[in-house]
């Protein structure tokens, strides 16, 4: 189950669209900002029913 989510880059403030694979369960990975190329730490929480419960984008060094 893929879901598109828009998050804000913690470095440049631009909206970034991420495609999240909810079938993989909870995740934590690094994605480069498509605008400023800085590394964003993405945390994904998936609900028991397989839907996206929460997504957070943070600066890698936070």
Query: Each residue of 5-38: pLDDT tens digit?
Result: 999 999 999 999 999 999 999 999 999 999 999 9
**pLDDT confidence of residue 60:** 85
1 band by pLDDT with thresholds 50, 70 and 90: confident
Domain containing 27: what range? 2-59
User: What kind and span of H or E run contains 25?
Assistant: none
How many separate domains does the chain show? 1
């Amino acid at each position: 189950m893929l879901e598109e989510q828009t998050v804000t880059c913690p470095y440049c403030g631009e909206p970034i669209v991420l495609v999240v694979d909810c079938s993989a369960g909870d995740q934590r990975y690094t994605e480069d900002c498509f605008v400023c190329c800085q590394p964003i730490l993405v945390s994904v929480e998936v609900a028991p029913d397989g839907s996206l419960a929460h997504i957070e984008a943070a600066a890698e060094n936070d």
